[in-house]
Structures are given as structure tokens and as C-alpha cells.
Chain A
Amino acid sequence: NAGVTQTPKFQVLKTGQSMTLQCAQDMNHNSMYWYRQDPGMGLRLIYYSASEGTTDKGEVPNGYNVSRLNKREFSLRLESAAPSQTSVYFCASTKGVSYTDTQYFGPGTRLTVL
């Protein structure tokens, strides 16, 4: 099992460009999450999908959109990138929605917006 995979690993964008970060999991998990990691701050939830066909906003959703394409895949889109979106983005998944379910993280995407 690959677990949670993310593409790309690195990306540099210019302000105003758009891009989609891809995430896939092969653990048959129901719930998936997108976080961003910034220096001096904890992982912050951008969007999550409790199950296939549903998505909800997290703590910092502005400037992002998501698509739960199927049970395996959850993508994060930046429509018009801004320097404030320079960050490391992590995708995660859980088997279910229980508060005790362990989150499994992908390797991260390091995004720089110039």
C-alpha cells in the first residue's frame, strides 16, 4: 500500500496563476482532509470531506476550492494564487469520522507563490 500520495512535491507559481494539488489514498478511507503548515503555526485545516460526495470548510478555506472526485481522490485548487498561500500543504485521510480515528498524512506539497 502506498498510503496517502500527493502530487506535485514542489511547485512555484506566480501571483494570479492557478493550480490543483492532487491527493489519493489507497486505504479505502472515507474521510479526507487538506491542511497547510506555516512556520510557527500548527497544521491548519483548509477543507475536509467526511465522505465521498461531501465537502466542508475548515479553519482557513478562503482562496481554495476542493473536489472529492471519488472515494480515493481529494484535490485542492488555488484559482488565483497569492503570496500568502506560500506554504506546505498536507493531505490526510481517516477510516471514518470518529474523533479517535488516526489521521494518515501524505508527504506534503511545498508551494511557493512569487
Chain B
Amino acid sequence: ILNVEQSPQSLHVQEGDSTNFTCSFPSSNFYALHWYRWETAKSPEALFVMTLNGDEKKKGRISATLNTKEGYSYLYIKGSQPEDSATYLCAFSNYGGATNKLIFGTGTLLAVQP
């Protein structure tokens, strides 16, 4: 059974703090790693898709790195703002299927206090 683990489960930071969290996934037969941002009462929205070992992606104050050999990805938020409060999901897909089937982690809930 393939498992995706995210840590920490939740995080409370002050406005202006920088923070990071981890997504761990099986390193064998890796194909892609997705990050989604999920605000309360809304739908998950895509942040990044990464495929190559060493990949780094950036969108504004949010960035992500990928290590496929050891099976982890980090998501960084620089200078957190209250509007960054959300659950951050990662999802992994591995080669072996015929379609885009993702295995999701349980998410890291980020709360940014003004």
C-alpha cells in the first residue's frame, strides 16, 4: 500500500514568520508530486507539479523542492500572511497505472495569526 505522509499535521505561526513543511512519499517508481492549497469551505487548488529530482518551483512567497531519491518534498512559505492560512496537501503519483491517479496525504493545516 502506497502511503504519503505530511508533517506536521498543523502549524500555528505569527504573521511575518517563514515556515516549511514536509511531504514524504515512496521513492520507487516515482512519477510526479503535486502540491495543493485548500482553504476552508473551498476546493483544493493546485500550487505546483514537480517531476524531476532537484526540481524547485516558486509562486510568489511559496516555493517547493523535490528529492525523488529519498522520497520527500518541502513546501516553504516566506513571510507568512493571514491569507496563507489553509491546509496544504501533497499528492503523489507513481508509474504503473493508466491514468492520473493521485495518492493524497492528510495535509498540513497552517494558521497564520495577525
Binding site for B on A (CB under 8 A): 4, 31, 35, 40-45, 48, 50, 56, 58, 90, 94, 96-108
Contacts and interface: CB of A to CB of B under 8 A. Distances in A.
List the 6 closest pairs (A to B, CB-CB), nearest first. Answer: A42-B104, A105-B43, A102-B46, A43-B104, A99-B93, A99-B32
Contacts of B36: 103
Interface residues of B, number: 26
Interface of B: 4, 31-32, 34, 36, 42-46, 49, 51, 89, 91, 93, 95, 98-107
Given A41-B106, A42-B104, A100 B99 contact: no
Contacts of B99: 31, 48, 50, 56, 97
A32 B92 CA distance: 18
B84 to A, nearest CB: 19
Given A94-B100, A99-B93, A42 B106 contact: yes
- The dominant DSSP class at the A interface is loop
Contacts of B102: 43, 45, 103
A100 B30 CA distance: 12
A105 B44 contact: yes
